């Protein structure tokens, strides 16, 4: 699991007590998983414990802070739906899967898929929840205005400077934000801002779409 020895084998219970949870280890482990979905952990009082880099990438302008609830910078309808799911988990639901409509960080209305699970501590008086959230589709009204052809995407890509191209190639290789920052000689924040602008110019919502674009360009002999 996320931290060795924390979750009992074949059980829904943690063998540690809440104060002993290694939050920093959780955050590092979540990012190392390199999931396409944004992931966050919350305690039974619905306070953030940890989250992965993908969640920050989905909402570049939002600041996530441990021990607080979901940031107010997220779209209000998203906060409402995620907190509603969190309430059901806090009341004892072990698993939840649902979808809702909400804007992404560029104001486009998307369909989002959510999966949540609840895991209790051995003491039985506390629990944490893990939630995965990701955009799966643009609504038609927005989709008709979005989406570049392969040739249009190539034209945009060719206009990137050398640093942006290195960032794209590193994303395709699966490098973390920290690894990319070291490679191009920028801060993590600068890389995050550049990545957000790359996504915006390509009309993408997730970094994995950059991977798919580079694969298509390579397959068509355009790189």
Count of other CB atoms within 10 angstroms of residue 10: 5
Per-residue confidence at 109, pLDDT binned at 50, 70, 90? Answer: confident
Tell me how far apart the alpha carbons of residues 211 and 73 are, in angstroms, rounded to a whole number.
28
pLDDT of residue 4: 32
Stated pTM of the model: 0.57
How many Cα atoms sit within 13 Å of 108 on the Cβ side?
A: 23
Q: What is the mean pLDDT of the chain?
A: 80
Mean per-residue pLDDT, 63-68:
80
Q: Per residue in 72-83, pLDDT tens?
A: 889 989 999 998
How many Cα atoms sit within 13 Å of 207 on the Cβ side?
A: 31
Domains (range + CATH), the chain? 13-140 (3.30.450.20), 150-219 (1.10.10.10)
Length, in residues, of the chain: 223
Asked whether residue 111 carries a pLDDT value surpassing 80, the answer given is yes
End-to-end CA distance of the chain, in Å?
39
Tell me how far apart the alpha carbons of residues 134 and 115 are, in angstroms, rounded to a whole number.
9
């Amino acid at each position: 699991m996320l931290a060795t020895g924390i979750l009992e084998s074949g059980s829904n219970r943690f063998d540690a007590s809440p104060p002993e949870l290694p939050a920093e280890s959780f955050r590092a482990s979540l990012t190392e998983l390199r999931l396409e979905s944004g992931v966050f952990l919350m305690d039974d009082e619905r306070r953030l414990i940890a989250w992965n880099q993908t969640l920050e990438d989905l909402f570049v302008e939002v600041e996530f802070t441990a021990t607080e609830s979901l940031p107010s910078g997220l779209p209000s309808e998203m906060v409402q739906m995620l907190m509603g799911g969190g309430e059901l988990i806090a009341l004892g639901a072990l698993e939840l899967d649902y979808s809702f409509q909400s804007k992404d960080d560029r104001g486009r209305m998307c369909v989002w898929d959510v999966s949540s699970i609840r895991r209790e501590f051995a003491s039985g008086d506390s629990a944490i929840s893990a939630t995965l959230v990701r955009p799966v589709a643009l609504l038609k009204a927005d989709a008709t205005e979005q989406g570049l052809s392969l040739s249009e995407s190539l034209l945009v890509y060719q206009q990137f400077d050398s640093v942006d191209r290195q960032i794209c190639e590193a994303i395709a290789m699966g490098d973390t934000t920290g690894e990319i920052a070291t490679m191009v000689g920028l801060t993590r924040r600068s890389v995050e801002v550049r990545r957000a602008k790359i996504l915006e110019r390509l009309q993408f919502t997730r970094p994995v779409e950059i991977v798919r674009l580079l694969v298509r360009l390579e397959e068509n002999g355009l790189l």
